[in-house]
Structure 1
Amino acid sequence: MKPNFDLSIVLSHIEEAIRTYPKAAMFELAERGYNSLFEQLISCIVSIRTLDETTIPVSLRLFEVARTPEQLLSLDIPALTQLLYGTTYPDQKAYTMRGIAERILTEFNGNLPADFATLTSFKGVGPKCANLALGVATGQAAISVDIHVHRVVNRWGFVQTKQPEQTLKVLENKVPQNQWVNINRLLMPFGKHICTGTAPRCSTCPVLEWCEQVGVERHR
């Protein structure tokens, strides 16, 4: 990592650079009013291995008929699968969502606890979705590491990790808690549109002076 690296300065430059790009899906949905913990968790399940360009319209279609556990359980698997058409593994996600809704009603009296351990105890919910839902819906300090976040912070030289799960643990130790939610909010669109997986836009990158360009073999 370069000696002059200052995460707060880097993130402020990124905030300005991504202003004209679409927001990350969960944050966009929250701004549209779909900001309950249940809605955020369900949308994150929709987003697994699915582009934001699909995640948002599929989530909106689902929420037209089901925004609560009770409403979701009123849909059988074929109907729910149809609503999830366009996302990856829609039938599998339908079973996952119904399983979550059933447990919320039977174990938690209809109130989804805002608790990382509880969320990750649901089948099909990993640390990324649990933290993203908690951060966006409740404002809890939570870092969500997707492939974009993992790539960007390794490319900077800020972390040296092989897997997103490892990146999460390192970032929790290095990033001030008041920036935890911003990690995904800013770095996901930054990694998607500027610091891309192949041929990143280094020549116009707003944070190039702080970046080690680890692993960059070709850039624009």
Structure 2
Amino acid sequence: MIARLSFQSARSLQVAQFPVGVNITSWLYEHDRKWLIETLSAPTTDGASRRSSAETASPDDERFAAHVDTVAAELLARSGKPQQVTKERLLAALPVSVADTPRHRERYPRTLKRVTDNRESTWHFRARRLWWAYAVLGARGDAPPMIEAVVLSGVGLYAAQAIIEYCGWEHLLPLAANIDVLEKLSGAGITIKWDGPPAWRGQAIGGRAYRRRK
């Protein structure tokens, strides 16, 4: 059996030591198959090996990630009709075009993670939008009927009822204009990832997609 050299060295033996017509790879497969398979399966250690994440990440990644946090906080705190903090809005606020693709996940890993972390759930957005509607209507001086808040907010009736009941907002909504909704939500342990009242999770309610609980 030939000495266990590197595969490249063994290949050179095909010309140097083996008779014409004898294939070194076939010979090794027959006489030392285990070594051949292990050698061919070993990861490369030359320049063809994958670069580390530190080498592939953009030098702007950390700065862009911080910018995403800032934009998300500004969207949540902005006065007027609330806008949902979506992936599209966060990516659009970056100074360069970044997309959630394999290539960009290598180049901007922190940035895209912060985009995911800052995305607002539909239920959290519904709660903010409903509170805003009550604040606008309450500025007239009267306690607004729920149906008016539902129409203005765009939050479905059953979703609105579920939020108010779960959060215990019945006595607070007439004062909505004077209370920070984010503080109320945070105080109740409701984060931007809130997936709704437990009894309604997994159900399509709100707008035209609502359906009654069974």
Establish whether TM, by shorter chain, passes 0.5.
no
TM-score (norm. length: structure 1): 0.26
Greater relative CO (CA pairs within 8 A, separation 6+): 1
Larger radius of gyration: 2
